[in-house]
Chains A and B, each alone.
Chain A
């Protein structure tokens, strides 16, 4: 059974806590963010701040100013919404070594509903100078992302999900470098660029496309900022059509980041799979995937439309 990325995050903190000296702070959600795994192992390096997310971020900044590495965790909506300005002024503006590590990103977090489903967190964090934005797609890449965030000096936003999805990488053999997208499947007709839960969906979409005679490339763009522009440009030139897929508003997230690169450098056509500027709602992960058109079939359909567009323009 695959682990959710939040569970993998907690496990990574627990394991890496033996190797590195860092702190973890939470705001009364440690059982859900899984920072409790670290808290149990290293209580002297764990600080519960109570339900006060703004205070969490600024206090983390003060701790980091003493030369410390700090993970500050809560749900994505509170980390990047409620505490946006604390992240901006206390952490990003100061370029301090705080990892804003948020769980429950996106609509696929399920039953809690719209108040808890962050559809704007990547967008919010992406606009902050000094901030690196990383969205791992499975347990193995989460471990690598956490370790690399520890070794990267400066603020990082890490976004994790709630429910397990299909594993994409094998534990211990996951190629992962912050800022470098991973080409999971090579292809010539269309490029699928995805993050988080949409990576395994895109892999499924590629096999649907294959059955329809379309040769799709799939890229795990785990780092949304700084985005791997050379890789996007290379694949846009090679395939002429790009589909982005994310569990996030299509405004401001991965789709926008890729669009910015394409608009300045390429002639490739772009299609964006994501939440179509709507708030979330309660439901199961699978129900929500269908409701918000985040399935492999939706991705494949968009890709086919782009391939058809290319053909008619030839």
Chain B
């Protein structure tokens, strides 16, 4: 695993997030920036993907259950070569296939349409069930939000994947502590997450969700776990990488104007430059 390279990819994904939401003048930067490092490790190191043949039946699957983080997802897909990077400038516009939330029919590389919170994890479970019963070797990854965990269906699928011993399913929980109306602990507390998952029969790993080596090691450990699914509980910062957005509820679903977008691009550009210098 080339850590510097993956850090650069994460910075590039973040730049795509700002580019996308600012040209669309809408979208969800906060929760996109909090998962950029996870996506970089998945798409540029760990996942078995074939961007030139997105329908390859043996590919690893990925479901962005917190579908509003589409800008980061599109960034990872475009940078992986699923489609032209310039499409991101057309995000959320009538002529573009890049919908506000991921659409598997329209976007090459999207394995499941999401946007309605709570449903994507079940779909990922369905994929893992298929692979398990038919002895397919692909692995299924999903990312859920900590606010999203308030949906009952999330816990229904937690039960299902433990019940069917789906060790080919790995779920990242983006524990950024924020949702739309405020802090998760104030809106509807879901702590202690780890204990609950353990009680549900899951293997759990707690990491810094912005540490490339920790993300990589956790995925490796998940793949070495047999008989149960793995939850990688990621401590993250919503808005990570753009200082004025970090830990601010208000940047959940708001796009920066031209000036603020420039400021964000500058900051992220600096990060990328530094990484390229040392890399």
Query: How near does chain B come to A238, taking the closest CB pair, in angstroms?
Result: 41
The reply to whether the CB of A95 lies closer than 8 angstroms to some CB of chain B is: yes
Complex alpha-carbon distance, A58 and B131, angstroms: 16
Query: In chain B, what residue has the closest Cβ to A52?
Result: B156
Q: Chain A, interface size: which category?
A: 20 to 34
Query: In chain A, what residue has the closest Cβ to B112?
Result: A65
Chain B 136-195 interface residues, beta-carbon cutoff 8 Å to A: 136, 152-153, 156-157, 159-160, 163-164
Task: Given the known inter-chain contacts A59-B125, A89-B116, please indicate yes or no for A68 contacting B153, CB distance below 8 A.
Answer: no
Contact A90 B57 (CB under 8 A): no
Task: Given the known inter-chain contacts A85-B116, A94-B105, please indicate yes or no for A65 contacting B127, CB distance below 8 A.
Answer: yes
The reply to whether the CB of B7 lies closer than 8 angstroms to some CB of chain A is: no
Contact A63 B129 (CB under 8 A): yes
Contacts of B128 in A (CB 8 A): 62
Contact A59 B111 (CB under 8 A): no
Contact B116 A61 (CB under 8 A): no
The reply to whether the CB of A86 lies closer than 8 angstroms to some CB of chain B is: yes
Contact A63 B126 (CB under 8 A): yes
Complex alpha-carbon distance, A95 and B105, angstroms: 8
Complex alpha-carbon distance, A45 and B132, angstroms: 12
Complex alpha-carbon distance, A64 and B113, angstroms: 13
Query: In chain A, what residue has the closest Cβ to B126?
Result: A62
Query: In chain B, what residue has the closest Cβ to A53?
Result: B156
Query: In chain B, what residue has the closest Cβ to A94?
Result: B113
Query: In chain B, what residue has the closest Cβ to A86?
Result: B119
Q: Which listed residue (A47, A85, A89) contacts B113, Cβ 8 A?
A: A89
Contact A93 B126 (CB under 8 A): no
Query: In chain B, what residue has the closest Cβ to A49?
Result: B160
Query: How near does chain A come to B118, taking the closest CB pair, in angstroms?
Result: 8
Complex alpha-carbon distance, A200 and B159, angstroms: 44
Query: In chain A, what residue has the closest Cβ to B138?
Result: A66
Chain B interfacial residues counted at CB < 8 A: 33
Query: In chain A, what residue has the closest Cβ to B152?
Result: A54
Complex alpha-carbon distance, A81 and B119, angstroms: 16
Contact A63 B160 (CB under 8 A): no
Chain B 92-143 interface residues, beta-carbon cutoff 8 Å to A: 103-105, 111-113, 115-116, 118-120, 122-131, 133, 136
Contact B122 A94 (CB under 8 A): no
Contact A62 B127 (CB under 8 A): yes
Complex alpha-carbon distance, A49 and B163, angstroms: 10
Complex alpha-carbon distance, A299 and B89, angstroms: 60
Q: Is the interface of B mostly helix, strand, loop or mixed?
A: helix
Q: Which listed residue (A47, A58, A65, A67) contacts B119, Cβ 8 A?
A: A58
Q: Which listed residue (A67, A90, A95) contacts B123, Cβ 8 A?
A: A90
Query: How near does chain A come to B190, taking the closest CB pair, in angstroms?
Result: 18
Query: How near does chain A come to B157, taking the closest CB pair, in angstroms?
Result: 5
The reply to whether the CB of A243 lies closer than 8 angstroms to some CB of chain B is: no
Contacts of B136 in A (CB 8 A): 66
Q: Which listed residue (B124, B156, B159) contacts A62, Cβ 8 A?
A: B124
Query: How near does chain B come to A286, taking the closest CB pair, in angstroms?
Result: 39
Query: How near does chain B come to A69, taking the closest CB pair, in angstroms?
Result: 12
Complex alpha-carbon distance, A246 and B124, angstroms: 38
The reply to whether the CB of A50 lies closer than 8 angstroms to some CB of chain B is: yes
Chain A 40-80 interface residues, beta-carbon cutoff 8 Å to B: 44-45, 47, 49-50, 52, 54-55, 57-68
Task: Given the known inter-chain contacts A65-B112, A89-B113, A94-B104, please indicate yes or no for A59 contacting B159, CB distance below 8 A.
Answer: no
Q: Residues 28-64 of chain B: 1 if any A CB is under 8 Å from the residue's CB, otherwise 0?
A: 0000000000000000000000000000010000010
Query: In chain A, what residue has the closest Cβ to B136?
Result: A66
Contacts of B111 in A (CB 8 A): 65
Q: Name the residue among B57, B129, B131, B164 with the largest chain A CB count within 10 angstroms.
A: B129
Query: How near does chain B come to A47, taking the closest CB pair, in angstroms?
Result: 6
Contacts of B126 in A (CB 8 A): 58-66
Task: Given the known inter-chain contacts A65-B111, A68-B130, A89-B116, please indicate yes or no for A59 contacting B123, CB distance below 8 A.
Answer: yes
Contact B115 A89 (CB under 8 A): yes
Contact B113 A62 (CB under 8 A): no
Query: How near does chain A come to B44, taking the closest CB pair, in angstroms?
Result: 24
Query: In chain A, what residue has the closest Cβ to B163?
Result: A50
Query: In chain A, what residue has the closest Cβ to B101?
Result: A89
Complex alpha-carbon distance, A59 and B169, angstroms: 13
Complex alpha-carbon distance, A272 and B131, angstroms: 48
Contacts of B160 in A (CB 8 A): 49-50, 52, 55, 59
Contacts of B153 in A (CB 8 A): 52, 54-55, 58, 86
Query: In chain B, what residue has the closest Cβ to A90?
Result: B119
Query: How near does chain B come to A201, taking the closest CB pair, in angstroms?
Result: 39
Contact A61 B112 (CB under 8 A): yes
Query: How near does chain B come to A42, taking the closest CB pair, in angstroms?
Result: 11
Query: How near does chain A come to B167, taking the closest CB pair, in angstroms?
Result: 17
Known: A54-B153, A61-B126, A65-B112. 13 other contacts (CB 8 A): A47-B129, A50-B156, A52-B153, A58-B119, A58-B123, A59-B123, A59-B157, A61-B123, A62-B126, A63-B129, A67-B57, A89-B116, A93-B113
User: What are 23 inter-chain pairs, A to B, with CB distance below 8 A?
Assistant: A49-B160, A50-B156, A50-B159, A50-B160, A52-B153, A52-B156, A52-B159, A52-B160, A54-B118, A57-B122, A59-B122, A61-B126, A62-B112, A62-B128, A63-B130, A65-B104, A65-B112, A66-B127, A85-B116, A89-B119, A94-B112, A94-B113, A95-B105
Q: Which 4 A-B pairs have the closest CB atoms?
A: A62-B126, A58-B122, A62-B123, A55-B156
The interface of chain A, by Cβ under 8 A from chain B, is 44-45, 47, 49-50, 52, 54-55, 57-68, 85-86, 89-90, 93-95
